Amino acid sequence: MKIGVITFSNSKDNYGQMLQIYAMQCFLKKMGHECFLIRYTDSPKAKASFKWSKAITYLCRFPQYAIWYVQQKKERRQQKVYATSAQSSNILRRFDEFLRDNIEMTPKIYDETSIINNPPQADAYVCGSDQIWCGDWAYYLNFASENAIKIAYAPSMGGITNFSPEYEAQMKRLIHRLDFVGMREQSGVEVCKRLGRTDAVQVVDPTLLLDTKDYDKIRIPVATPKPYLFLYLLGNPIGYKTKYFYDYAASQGLDVVYVASQGKVDDYEKFPAQVGEWVELLANAEMVITNSFHCTVFSLIYHRRVVTVPLVGGYERMNTRINELLENAGLEDLILNKELEYYQQDDWDFSGFDMYKNSELKRTSDYFDKIIGSKSI
């Protein structure tokens, strides 16, 4: 069956975005389907918004937001200084090259008008994963014909649960067109149920549907000091200075290989890894420290010692998916809430994660077999 997948694909520095595209396509191909990525450019319109009834929540959290705002202003000033080097780093990451070499995709890039007027042709469509369900209606498969199979697999609302009445009404209409709704977070499942999709379920991120042998195919060798700590930080705020992680690594006799998104600004040298190099660096690390969901996922897949740093400053809702993952795998202790020395033990047990991952792979495979086999094309 020919399946078109739509998700975010335009990042120049988000490794998780590239790897979830690869994982979804690889998974569907392993199931025997022809799969392609629908390249799409977002519109500035149709963004979800919070209800004013939540205003009291924002006011209660004002001190947190104020601290975050000051920090953001400081980082924006620093980013002006680092802007040229950041752009150079993104070029060296070669994300476009990764997509070209590893992903089947549409020749053209669609926008909200062209995807309606001349949609890519497929027997079935998948929207997901990533935080796509707060924006353009294309990510709800509004362009797909009534006869096509329509699947939402692991889209996220980023922890948002309240929207403007206009946005929510359109969302409700579109999700009722879907043949299957599987959300990445339980909070998204609850929103869908509130909107009438009582059959919505929670599913895992597509990166959890593959094994190391699948990711080993894209690894690129990197010359590194050994042993080393792999530090991967997104630009979202955390309650620790980068120096804290470097000081810990030094105390353990570890060098540091530091990769970061463009939004992370500090005075430490960063390596602009290609996607395959990022996987290679993680897979060979003595230890991993990150505030990234996908970096946590890959650390667990490769059985690396990982410590996950929670987000702060108004971004706490984005910790949900990491918390849920670690709880399901019985690894809640991997969230950084103690001194780093606490995480030094050698007897890390990944058996619970492996069991969880294998059971979710079977469950997801069963979902797709049932959905795709339930309609005649």
Q: Which range among 61-65, 199-203, 259-263 shows the weakest confidence by mean pLDDT?
A: 61-65
Confidence (pLDDT) at 197? 97
With respect to residue 161, please indicate whether it lies within any of the assigned structural domains.
yes
With respect to residue 364, please indicate whether it lies within any of the assigned structural domains.
yes
Per-residue pLDDT of 268-287, as tens digits, reads 999 999 999 999 999 999 99
Residues 206 and 217 reside in one and the same domain: no
- Enclosing domain of residue 337: 213-353
Confidence (pLDDT) at 58? 45
Q: Which range among 21-25, 201-205, 327-331 shows the weakest confidence by mean pLDDT?
A: 327-331
With respect to residue 24, please indicate whether it lies within any of the assigned structural domains.
yes
Confidence (pLDDT) at 353? 95
Residues 136 and 230 reside in one and the same domain: no
With respect to residue 85, please indicate whether it lies within any of the assigned structural domains.
no
Name the pTM for this structure. 0.88
Number of domains in the chain: 2
CA 343-346-352 angle, to 5 degrees, is 85
Average pLDDT over residues 139-143: 98
Residues 185 and 294 reside in one and the same domain: no
Residues 234 and 339 reside in one and the same domain: yes
Residues 263 and 315 reside in one and the same domain: yes
Which residue intervals of the chain are DSSP H helices? 15-30, 55-60, 62-93, 95-102, 114-117, 165-175, 186-194, 212-216, 242-251, 275-283, 293-301, 320-328, 351-372
Residues 162 and 252 reside in one and the same domain: no
Residue 248: pLDDT over 60? yes
Residues 170 and 299 reside in one and the same domain: no
With respect to residue 197, please indicate whether it lies within any of the assigned structural domains.
yes
Average pLDDT over residues 179-185: 95
Average pLDDT over residues 53-71: 51
Tell me what the pLDDT averaged over the chain comes to: 88
Residues 185 and 109 reside in one and the same domain: yes
Residues 261 and 368 reside in one and the same domain: no
